[in-house]
Amino acid sequence: MRKIYQVALFVGGFIFLGFIILILTNDDQQLGIQRSLPPNENVEGIEQKEMDQVLADDLSMTTSMFLSQLSLQLDRWAEQDLGDQELQKKFKQEVREHPHFHSFAIVENGKTTETVGDISEKKLKQLHHQHAGLTFSDPYKMDDEDYFMISKKIDEDKSVAGEINLSFVKNYIKDLASVADANGNFFVSGNDPEVQWKTMKDLPKGISAQTVPELGWQIVVHSDVEDGQDHHYIEGQAVIKLVNNRNTEAWIEDQKDLTLVKNSDPYYIVESATKSSDQLVSELTKNPDVEFVEPNFLFTKQATQAVVVPNDEFFQPYQWNLSQIAAQEGWEVTDGSEETTIAVLDTGVDPEHQDLKGKVLEGFNAFDGTSNSNDLHGHGTHVAGIAAAITNNVTGIAGVAWQNNILPVKVLNENGEGSSFEVARGIRWAVDNGAEVINMSLGDYHNSYILHDAIRYAHQNDVVLIAASGNDNTNEPMYPADYKEVLTVAATDDKRERAFFSNFGHHVDVAAPGEHIPSLFPNNNYVIMSGTSMAAPHVAGLAGLIRSINPELSNEEVYELMTATAIDLGEKGRDPFYGAGEINVGDALKQLN
């Protein structure tokens, strides 16, 4: 049995980036790892009320953060000198190219004096929802697309206004969520007959709305139950490795009812047209030519003294997580090195994001073998930003390792899903292409031979391996988190307490912040996510900083340094909830100074 979360938002405004995270994912994807249940066990460790609350909190904080961005954009445009024709031309081009603003106007005494696009006085009269100096309209349709107005007062007689195109909302939410305005009328709805609501009155019983405090919006999170057995592998396929480096492709051609699907020497995916995966594995296990065979398992993402204070706009108001792990003290020692590379095995990375541009190396797509590692989901970009966003550039957030490069390895698709084959293939490619640190904010509850083989290959090549522990509040270990070659990370909140969803057990080595973590999202956006997926890249960033100072340290020595300098939490000494404790960037780096 599997929990599926559906999300509906009742909003009178525009700030949808927060719920993009909710909408693109179910509950576990929001926390960074989409749950795959342990064998013969239903995980029921997470209270639904708590899960609903963390989703609502992420939305509310993301809304506030994005409101701040919109407000700053209006301020910048209000200061434009439109008297010069050349400057006016450049300004109009900037507005037209903005990903959210469709048009813009300067308004004096209720009359538009300068416009880019079409903002009529009739539209301005729709502005009647106010918050923190901003005024919003309800959404409206124009040429079959949804728009809404936002305005900000500059002085007593002057204000600036923008018209926002909301079509991107539909592209993100697809059929997974519905949106209603402040009057309770839905203007975006899915195709599922059960959620084709017209007004709030159409909601089925048992669904409770939670309020976003800033604007009085409401978030509704409810779960359905899907019966039936979940498949944790791709049916009809198996992953094999032959003994003694035999010519595997020729061997496959000689086998009756066996075809080659993918190869990534020494691993190969084979498929049968007549046999199930279980039958295929059982049959091939008996073949002496086969070193190992297993199903192609599905993997999914799992979302003092004077100190350095970066000037990034969201650092001081939102990034409590970096202060908690003493990142500022650590940056006095080093902010990283371009010579040290952190590989992010995930949904890919947006290389054009303003907080990553120039530091994302050419990556790898483990699905098609190309270099197309762009992120069509958002999870990988969020993870990369935590580890190593460009810092002290005024814009956006700060990353743990300012200067370190990111090597994007796409092992999860646009739905946040991949298989053991893709993950193993991605690990080996990252090792062979210069990764000193590999972050894996993903996992599954099945022990995969191919995955462990790739993990051992990376460890033997002295790569630091970081993995998220999982988000099911269970002591059932996930993989790769349970492998001894990997440093496994649990999640803490802003009180240094264990995040309620964080998996625990002998496999946990350290902890790091994982609740309500701001970071990057494709197309120059910023959102807040929660999960051990967010905790792991804090540790990957620290590992990158350590190797920037002393690249001669072995991976085991890096593990030892991070655990030895961690802040002991919970029971004295190592425990199943925090491992050695929460990482301390400052203390770890000062040991090397």
DSSP string, 320-384: HHHHHTTHHHHHTT----TTSEEEEEES---TT-TTTTTSBPP-EETTTSSS----SSSHHHHHH
- Could you tell me where the beta strands, DSSP code E, fall in 422-515? 437-440, 442-443, 464-468, 487-492, 510-513
Per-residue pLDDT tens for 533-559?
999 999 999 999 999 999 999 999 999
pLDDT at 179: 66
Give, rounded to a whole angstrom, the gap between the first and last alpha carbons of the chain.
52
Stretch among 311-315, 380-384, 567-571 having the lowest mean pLDDT: 311-315
Confirm or reject CATH 3.40.50.200 for domain 301-590, answering yes or no.
yes
- Does the pLDDT at position 125 exceed 80? yes
How far apart CA 329 and CA 587 sit, in angstroms, is: 8
- Does the pLDDT at position 24 exceed 60? no
Sign of CA dihedral 432, 435, 436, 439: negative
Which tokens sit at 411?
């092992």
Residues annotated catalytic, as ranges: 346, 379, 533
Nearest to 321 by CA among 576, 519, 80, 110: 519
Backbone angles phi, psi at 254, to 5 degrees: -80, -10
Per-residue pLDDT tens for 249-296?
888 888 888 888 888 888 888 888 888 888 888 888 888 888 888 888
User: What single-letter DSSP state applies at residue 112?
Assistant: E
pLDDT at 23: 28
How far apart CA 38 and CA 11 sit, in angstroms, is: 38
- Could you tell me where the beta strands, DSSP code E, fall in 97-144? 101-108, 111-116, 129-131, 134-136, 140-142
Stretch among 142-156, 162-176, 223-237, 562-576 having the lowest mean pLDDT: 223-237
- Does the pLDDT at position 318 exceed 50? yes
Averaged pLDDT score across all residues of the chain? 81
- Does the pLDDT at position 52 exceed 70? no
Helices 555-564 and 532-549: angle between axes, nearest 10 degrees? 110
| CA 67 to chain CA mean position, Å | 20
pLDDT at 210: 53
Nearest to 291 by CA among 453, 423, 455, 460: 453
Strand partners, 209: 220
